[in-house]
Structure formats: structure tokens, C-alpha cells
Amino acid sequence: MNRDSREEITSAIADMPVINHHEHAWRSFSVDHGEEFDLPYYLSCHYLRDDLAVAGLVKPPGLFDYLNDPRIPDGAEDAWDVLRPFLNKVRNTSYFRYLLRGLNDLFGITEDDVFSERWCEASGRIRRYSQEHRGKGADLCRRMRVVATVLDGKIGAAEFKRLNSGDHRLLRIARLDQFIHEGRGLAETLDEYAGVDFEHWLAAFDGFFHRSVEDGAAGFKSGLAYNRRIEYSDPPKDNAARIFKSGLLMASPAEKAIYQDYMMNRLCRLCVEADVPLQIHTGIQTGTRHVLEDARPTLLTGLLRRHGDLRVDLFHGGYPWCVHAGLMAKYFPNVYIDGCWLHHISPSAYRAALTSWIETVPMNKIFAWGGDHNLLEHSYASLAMARELVVDVLADLVDRGYFDVDLALEVARHILHDNGVEFWRLAGADGALHVGTGVSTAGGQA
């Protein structure tokens, strides 16, 4: 390995601005909703929670209520007693290993501290940090050199406008899954529009979409891979209308699929008309007991062929079908491959995937990173890992003589920043990323 080349790539990437293509941590930008957290919570929420559950942990209800209710005595020791035996069992997984980087960088806490009597002092240090940094997500983004965050917070426009993002660029993603699948809130949405016919139902669907765009939504997200197979046919409107009229919730699974397919195609057409992108979950699902095969990215082939003008952000590298997902970006000019979440699912899979994508996909079609967390401090750890993995891949390609350092750095700028600026229409007339339209501030949306 050429040490000088690697050091040059490492130094350059450390200073590069980054676009966060997928994030859930809206509370990190909210003074009112900012979460308090300590060491037990930091090590047991979101992804590591799944590993702990698979290792055998059954988490008692209300284990972390003390973090949200000042009337409840500090329960950190009780929570640690529950978690500690199972943390030993997941120390090998990537979901645990990458969080150590955040603990060390942000709080000066080591793995030895975690698994010693020093855990209690460390936990108190983390909780004080969470109290002092409530709603200061923009400050952490500056430290990360993240200049824009695509926020899938599952919050409405009004709540989004109250977020405290300062001069950080926040882009809101909206969802219409609640109009499509009962696993996503369809029954409750039907109750809101009780008694309407199919035409009025479609008007409500279209109206929700257009209001979202008018309120500043930068794009939309489909999470239906958690609820059904992401292979979509193209049924006629009359078939969907008949199923709706007969009682959607009482329809057979096959009939529900026909209705869902029609609505998904309608969403694609609306996105094209409004010139906004659609993010689609593919590959591994968080949680347990899902049907992995339902989320295979090549199942989208029919949908993507029908909607060639739809800008598509294909999520999670399609893991474990990373090569297949990359080929979707190679086949379709409108499809972009996104490595969000993949870094901390499996670093080795990310290295292999990014290498394959760079070798097969035009550099303007790759998004290198998205945090995909509920806690922005977890995304800090994720980005630290992602930068190292990007360096690994590019330095290896340079070392193999595939390209030189200059081209490696051009690729890095594209996949970390420039592609996101272009995809999300963030550049001003001068070609530079600008803040303004669509930016949430404490005083509202500019």
C-alpha cells in the first residue's frame, strides 16, 4: 500500500463536506422533543436493540421511562443490570463495534470503560451531554461536516418548521404509505375519509401529495418493503376502484395487492409530475421476523421500466443483493444507488459493494452515506466509519492501479457531496450549495 497516497486520500476526505441522504433523528433538532440518553440507552436503542433481542434479551416495558419523566428516580443501574449480560453477547457485531467510535470521539469512553465499574461515571457523562445539547443537532452536523440532511422524520410540515436547524440544510421527506397498506395506517386513514367513493379517495391521496410539496417536501419515501413484496404490477384503475368499493380491509390478499400496486404507480406518476424523487427501501429490514426476499431490489424492475422519468433513490445498497442493486443504477438512468445504513450493517459488505459500484456505475449515480438513525450521535459514529471505508476502497483502487489519486478524490467528492447537491436540486445559479428555500429554522421555514 502506498502510504503517501492513502494519507492524501484520508486527509482530503476528512475535510470534504457530506450530504446525509437518509436520517430519522428529527428530535436532535428539537429543543422541545430532544431526547435525554445515557450509556444503557445509547447501547440498546435502534439497531443494536435488534441484535440484543436476537441474543435473547427480553426488555421489560418502561425500562427507560426515567429518562423522560423527572418524577421517576434514576434507573440507569437497573437498566444496566438487564442489558449488561447481553451486551457481552453482541460485542462482535458491527452494530456494537461502530458505536464504540462515537463513545470514544464524543465522550472519551472506551470499550474497557463500558465493561468495567467505570460504566456508571461514563453513563452520567453521556446523560449530562444529552441535557446540554438538547436540540443542537445542527452543531453536531457542523462538527461532522454534514452540510445537508434528508430527514425522514415521519413528522408533518408544521412540526418540521419548528425544528431548530440554524443554517443547516434540512430536507423533509413525506410518506403516503398510510393510504396504501394497512400495516402502515390504512385503516386509520380510511376512518378519516369514511364513506367517500374511490374518486374522492384518490382526490384525498393526490391532495395530501400536493400539500406536502407545497409545504416544502423535497421528496417522498416508500417503506412498503416491510409490509409486502416490492414487485408492482400495473393494474387498471377500474380494478382498484372495484376492490375499494367492495371493502378494502375485507379484500383478499391478492385483491389488496392489486389496489396497492395501482396506488404505488399513481404515487410514481405524481412524483414525476412534481419533479421530486422517490426513496424506496430495499434489502434488509430493521427488526426481526421479516421476509427478506420481499425486499429484493430487482423486484422493482417492472415499476422502474414504467416510470423512466422518476428519480429513484434505491436504499441500503439492497443488502444483501448489493451487486444487483448497483446494476439497477447501471441499467436505469433515473436510478441512484444509496449506501445508507450499509456501513454499519457490515463494513466488509460495504467495502465490496462500493468497490463494485465504482467499477460498474457512473460516479454521479452513487450516494456514499446516510445515517438512518433516531439519535444523531449514532449517525456521527456511522459517518466516522463510512469515511474510513471510503478511504479503504479508494486507496485500494489506487494501489491496484485502477485509477490515480486525483480521480479517486473526484469520485469521493461526487459520492459524498456533489451527487446529493445535484439529485436534491440544492445548487444555486453559481453551482454552490445554498441555504434558504426548504431550510427549517427556529423561526420557521425560510
Angstrom distance (rounded) from CA 124 to CA 172? 33
The full length of the chain comes to 446
Angstrom distance (rounded) from CA 139 to CA 101? 19
Angle at 163 between CA 161 and CA 165, to 5 degrees: 110
Residue that the C-alpha cell 459500484 belongs to? 357
> One digit per residue, pLDDT tens: the chain, 446 residues?
577 889 999 999 999 999 999 999 999 999 888 889 999 999 999 899 999 999 999 999 999 999 999 999 999 999 999 999 999 999 999 999 999 999 999 999 999 999 999 999 999 999 999 999 999 999 999 999 999 999 998 899 999 999 999 899 999 999 999 999 999 999 999 999 999 999 999 999 999 999 999 999 999 999 999 999 999 999 999 999 999 999 999 999 999 999 999 999 999 999 999 999 999 999 999 998 999 999 999 999 999 999 999 999 999 999 999 999 999 999 999 999 999 999 999 999 999 999 999 999 999 999 999 999 999 999 999 999 999 999 999 999 999 999 999 999 999 999 999 999 999 999 864 455 654 333 333 333 22
Give the DSSP H or E segment for 282. Answer: none
Least Cα distance to 353 among 365, 373, 332, 337 occurs for 337
Counts of helices then strands in the chain (DSSP H, E): 20, 10
Q: What is the pTM of this model?
A: 0.94
- DSSP state string for 122-139: HHHHHHHHHHHTTT-HHH
Task: Give how far Cα 431 sits from Cα of 195, 224, 427, 434, Å.
Answer: 50, 35, 5, 9
Three-class SS state of 60 = coil
Residue 119: all three cell numbers together:
460504566
Q: Considering just the CA atoms, what is the radius of gyration of the chain in Å?
A: 22
Angstrom distance (rounded) from CA 342 to CA 346? 6
269 and 176 in contact (C-beta within 8 Å)?
A: no
